[in-house]
Structure 1
Amino acid sequence: MDGSSGHGGRDGGRTGDMLLRNYKLGKRLGFGASATVKLAEHVLTGLKVAIKIINKHEIRKIKDMEEKVRREMKIAKLLVHPHIVRLYEVIETSTDIFLVLEYAESGELFDYIVYKNRLNENEARSLFQQIISGVEYCHRNMVVHRDLKPENLLLDSKYHVKIADFGFSNILRDGRFLKTSCGSPSYAAPEILFGKLYAGPEVDVWSCGVILYALLCGKLPFDEGNISDFYRKIKHGIYNLPMSLPPGARDLIRRILVVDPTRRMTIPQIRQHPWFKAHLPCYLTVPPLEANQLAKKIDEQILQVVINMGFDRNQLIQSLFNRVHNEATVAYYLLLDYQYRGSSGYLKAEFQASMESGINQMHQSEPIPRYMNYQGIGQIPQLPQERKWSLGLQFQANPREIMTDVLKALQELRVGWKRIGHYNMKCRWIPGIYGHNSHHLEDDDSNIMESDDAAMKASNVVKFEVQLYKTREEKNLLDLQRVQGPQFLFLDLCAAILAQLRVL
């Protein structure tokens, strides 16, 4: 995504003022090392936006920062959800990048918690429901945030949550694990803090648990002055749950703040928890439509308002259909978002009813009033189907039982290993070199690989990692990922492991 696509081939050498002619810049809302955020007014609609101004020269001074900014832009364009800050437009010059973002009038959730000290049960639950809905949408689109905290959760004029700042986010890929240590330590999961591999969604769930604790208690569960005690408590999951907390909330927090990521609650499980389900708004009970589907559900009234501003109808529809960012589509989406921030919920009842109708009547062919589907008038868009396959082996057994069987299989196959997490190991296999006598146990079932110069120089050494984690289907998935060595040898070894586990 770049500014040129939305500005009809404007000269990139023009000044930022020329490119920002559709906005009246106002006061500064915040600033950082390489970016400033300013309040602005969109000239055509008179609505307020936030413009994040990123200086290219400054971000190039910091290693990998430009890549992170580009990734943040790409992810922000992908996500369209009522509880995620919307990116309306990107304008780029030779010196700066301007991100035109949804403006959250009520500021950070952090300041709101400080102001109120602690929130009552119903308000805390309402905000938590909105946060979980937004995070779940990110995960459905294979995005993990990795820096969820009250400072990155904004509030609009109706005090609805808007998840912001995807600077540490990343794309999830099947069979690949993340290992970057990032985010605020107070909200980061143990596996992030202590350098272990992680799949992604489980670290966001941990952060959500810390946020829920902060909403209800007005303080953090892990907040010690002594840094060693602070890390020790996170590592072992040591925290106090005040007796004043509602029993349902206490139970939910206890199930989320679990050190073992394979036993930590998942978002589908959180959604089924009785405390979470209480007073759940209708629009949060169903999965939101994907961005590409929403782009094809066009509000005819707002469309006409934008056409009356002087834009061509067919070009506007085509731009909306293809999710192109330009003057007309920015005006359309600003008006759309403003229209559906109702006082009784984020979405007005009319839009809400049509969404639910579309989900409950997937094959109905009657047109939806006011909303025209430009994939075919009156056809209800299909929700994306859940994937029916995953890379790796899925088991219903207890995680410890699975790992015990895996360790036995590795020992039978003369594979050396070293534990690097609860259910994560680095392994090395060299045909004909390792034998049963080369394994020795240390700290329970930790198997430390011997240092062998000849082995390290061998051309057929195979290094791989074994990770067990929980899937969205609530199964335990065992993943083997090659790190180094001949691919065919690795595949032969995988087949042998499957045979030992009696899968083949």
Structure 2
Amino acid sequence: MEILRTITYQQNNGSKMCEQALGRVCDGSRRWKLPADGEQPVQPHTCTGSTAEVSRIITDPGTGKRYCRGKVLGKGGFAKCYEMTDLTTNKIYAAKIIPHSRVSKPHQREKIDKEIELHRTLNHRHVVQFYHYFEDKENIYILLEYCSRRSMAHILKTRKVLTDPEVRYYLKQIVSGLKYLHEQEILHRDLKLGNFFINESMELKVGDFGLAARLEPMEQRRRTICGTPNYLSPEVLNKQGHGCESDVWALGCVMYTMLLGRPPFETTNLKETYRCIREARYTLPSSLMSSAKHLIASMLSRNPEDRPSLDEIMQHDFITQGFTPERLPSSCCHTAPDFHLSSPAKSFFKKAAAALFGGKKEKAKYLDNHNKLAKEDEEIYKLRQDLKKTSISQQHPRADEVS
């Protein structure tokens, strides 16, 4: 989803905008401002805080478009990611900026070209959108969808653990994006919390295709060990090649981490971590729901052939039998959500359902007999969905019947 923001100053056209930019400071917060009293004016055309200088005002040599580089969003092996604003449209991108000096060797440049080739063909709601790339004498610029809520890693760092409904919400979106990638015969090979980005609407996007590769037949699969240590699968460590099942393993590690706040195979040293991975040795606390434990255990099966497919994951009891919110509030980035409807709301939905569908006593009795709050909330969620579907075709109940 495109996130549009407005730079807070008045301009009539892009040309004038760029001219005035040369006399002002782009401070990375999407606002143009003059230096405060006593401050040294910052030169708008350079960034002096990095080994490879990156211009504040960047021009695409091919199109003539100008962009303002903002704050750093993240760092990778070859690149830094910045906010970057199109000075004509005010549209914000996440710009991956790679200095030519960092990819001077042929195999390094080939890696970047391959990432661009794979990513630019993708178009899915739960995959970070690729928009454009260009080069100048100093850098390569890859313009991607801007996700203002950053990544799942940032959310979990603040929250420590997530609730079951949140995990279902995010898992469904990850599986949706991952299924699309696999249908395009693309393996991600680096699924982890830091590569799941959250946009303004709290939608998850799978991103960072720096290690992605085309799916190959078993005998032609790459034997290279690549990825993030805590999320590597046994077959990758044993140099047996990376397949769709390896992405499913990483997804199991992701689910475990979201629920418990730590990766399943994390130890004090890498050698021990790899030993635990090869043996598929980890602990499942009794505090987890049985369905959650079963799903994690299936995804973390030592034998790749024993792991569930993405469709099977979506049909698992953990996904289908529990409450999943349609949307999450942005407060979920820092505070656990409260999914429990207030008593007046619960009363309303009970009465409205009875008025629409009949059997008021039976339905009320059925709901009242649910002792566990989670079960009751699931039923209310279903009633809400039924109300939406039937509100057009059925007559609204009288006010005295639902109040």
Deviation at 1:141, TM superposition (A): 0.2
Residues 29, 228 of structure 1: alpha-carbon distance in 2 compared, 3 angstrom cutoff: closer
Of 146, 150, 156, the residue aligned with 2:199 is 156
Aligned amino acid, residue 223 of structure 2: K
Q: Which amino acid aligns with 1:192?
A: V
Counterpart residue type for residue 248 of structure 2: V
Mapped pair 1:79 → 2:122: yes
* CA distance in structure 2 between the partners assigned to 1:120 and 1:16 by the alignment: 43
CA distance in 1, matches of 2:297, 2:215: 27
User: What residue in structure 2 maps to residue 185 of structure 1?
Assistant: 229
Could you tell me which runs of 5 or more consecutive residues in structure 1 were left unpaired when the two chains were aligned: 1-14, 284-352, 354-504
Identify unmatched segments of 5+ residues in structure 2: 1-56, 328-388, 390-403
Structure 2 residue corresponding to 1:25, chosen from 46, 49, 69: 69
1:248 maps to which residue?
A: 291
Alignment of 1:7-26 (within 5 A): 16-17=58-59, 19=61, 21-26=65-70
CA distance in 1, matches of 2:92, 2:270: 42
Q: TM-score, normalised by structure 1?
A: 0.50
Residue identity opposite 1:201 in structure 2: C
2:213 matched to which residue of 1? 170
TM-score normalised by structure 2 residue count: 0.62
Answer whether contact 1:185 1:193 (CA < 8 A) is retained. no
Matched residue SS, 1:262: helix
SS of the residue corresponding to residue 227 of structure 2 reads coil
* 1:127 equivalent in structure 2: 170
Pick aligned residue for 1:46 from 69, 83, 90 = 90
Shift of 1:18: 5.1
- Kindly indicate whether the alpha-carbon contact (under 8 Å) linking 2:98 and 2:141 is maintained by their aligned counterparts in 1: yes
Contact 1:129 1:280 in 2 (8 A): no
Counterpart code for 1:262: E
- Residue 101 of structure 2 aligns with an amino acid whose one-letter code is H
> CA deviation digits over 1:149-196, x for unaligned, max 9?
111111112222111111111011346323121001100111111212
Which residue of the partner structure matches residue 346 of structure 2? none
1:42-86: per-residue Cα shift (whole Å, max 9, x none)?
A: 33432321111111221124x622111111101111111111111
Find the aligned partners of 1:149 and 1:224 in 2 and give their Cα distance. Answer: 17
Equivalence for 2:302: 259
Matched, 1:57 2:101: yes
State how many pairs are aligned. Answer: 268
Q: Which amino acid aligns with 1:119?
A: L
Shift of 1:280: 6.2
Amino acid at match of 1:135: L
CA distance in 1, matches of 2:60, 2:240: 48
1:425-444 superposed matches below 5 A: none
1:222 Cα shift?
0.4
Q: Residue in 2 aligned with 1:36?
A: 80
Check whether the contact 1:51–1:98 (CA below 8 A) recurs between aligned residues: yes
Counterpart among 208, 212, 216 of residue 259 in structure 2? 216
In structure 2, what residue type is equivalent to 1:184? Answer: T
User: Is 1:276 matched with 2:276?
Assistant: no
Q: 1:135 to 1:18 in 2, by over 3 A?
A: closer
Q: Contact conserved, 1:36 with 1:53, CA < 8 A, in 2?
A: yes
Q: In the alignment, does 2:147 pair up with 1:116?
A: no
Q: In structure 2, do the counterparts of structure 1 residues 281 and 172 end up closer, same or farther at CA, with 3 Å as the change threshold?
A: farther
Deviation at 1:16, TM superposition (A): 4.7
Which structure has more strand as a fraction of its residues? Answer: 1
- Supply the AA of the counterpart residue of 1:99: I
> What's the RMSD between the two structures over aligned residues?
2.3
Q: Distance in 1 between matches of 2:88 and 2:325?
A: 33
Percentage identity across aligned positions?
31
Task: State whether residues 165 and 324 of structure 2, in contact with CA within 8 Å, keep that contact through their aligned partners in structure 1.
Answer: no
Distance change >3 Å, CA 29–CA 226, structure 1 → 2: closer
Is 2:240 the counterpart of 1:204? Answer: no
1:258·1:264 contact (CA, 8 Å) conserved in 2? Answer: yes
Look up the equivalent residue of 2:212 and give its one-letter code.
S
User: Which amino acid in 1 is paired with 2:178?
Assistant: V
What amino acid is aligned across from residue 291 of structure 2 in structure 1?
Answer: G
Amino acid at match of 1:186: N
